Amino acid sequence: MLDLTGHRELQCVIHPFGTLTPLRFVVVCSFYRRRILLSYHSRHGSWETQGGRIEINESPEEAARRELYEESGATDAALIPVCDYCACDSEGSSNGCVYAAVIRKLGQLPNNEMSRVGAFDDLPDNLTYPHVTPALFGEAKRKLAEISER
């Protein structure tokens, strides 16, 4: 599998959680005080979910917790498994999984590629992955609604 380079052209196909292998990436769709929480990527100049590569000997949940903290400063959050996805662009494809995070406490944002976090009622227009982020947040919202109905 190749690295995905065409951020704006990236597409995804949703699969049930735990059905794709190997998993290379984790995405966290975060909610803070009932609002969408995104991170602003300085180099890309756009908003994105928290997430990234799953490190060797790291579980997807461990990667999700690490990335959530590193890219938002979240120090207390419930993680809920949502779905797997296959992302593809003109360079190749790769598998990942998605978690929803209900953040209870935000700390200081660690120094990294994210310059700030922002809370939104709806997804902003300036997204790093404009075809993927709305689809994954749609799945996360459905999962959270399903849980709250129980």
State the pLDDT confidence band at 149, using cuts at 50, 70 and 90: confident
Indicate if the pLDDT at residue 50 is higher than 90: yes
Confidence of residue 7 (pLDDT cuts 50, 70, 90): low
Residue 117 pairs in a beta bridge with 39
Say if pTM beats, i.e. exceeds, 0.85: yes
Which residues are registered as beta bridge partners of 100? 29, 80
Domains of the chain, each with CATH number or no CATH: 7-149 (3.90.79.10)
pLDDT bin (cut points 50, 70, 90) of residue 9 is: confident
pLDDT of 1 > 70? The answer is: no
Distances in Å between the Cα of 116 and the Cα atoms of 50, 70, 71, 104 are 12, 11, 9, 18
State the distance between the two ends of the chain, measured CA to CA, in whole angstroms: 39
Please, which residues bridge with residue 59 across strands? Answer: none
Cβ–Cβ < 8 Å for 58, 66: yes
Mean pLDDT of the chain, nearest integer: 91
Span 92-141, pLDDT tens digits: 889 999 999 999 999 998 888 888 999 999 999 999 999 899 999 999 99
